[in-house]
Amino acid sequence: MFKDAESSSLVAVRKTNHRYPVVIYVPREEANRVVTVYHASDVDRLIRRKLGRGVWTKE
């Protein structure tokens, strides 16, 4: 789990059926609000790049 430094949204990445959906969401008491969902072809590179630039932080 990661946190987006700019928007304070949370980022979830999970492997499903050889694909890696990336879900950006805002936790709320009544229900989480999904901001966007996309598939990453190279999830390791995406995470390294986001952490390296300081866009995401580990949660």
Give the model's pLDDT for residue 15: 84
pLDDT in tens, 21-34: 999 999 999 999 99
Q: Which of 14, 15, 16 is nearest to 25 (CA)?
A: 14
Domains of the chain, by residue range, sit at 2-58
Burial of 52 (0-12, 13-18, 19+ CB in 10 A): exposed
Sign (positive or negative) of CA dihedral 23, 16, 38, 55: positive
pTM of this prediction? 0.82
- At residue 19, the pLDDT reads 84
Q: pLDDT tens digit string along 4-13? A: 999 989 999 9
**26 against 59, higher pLDDT:** 26
pLDDT at position 17 = 81
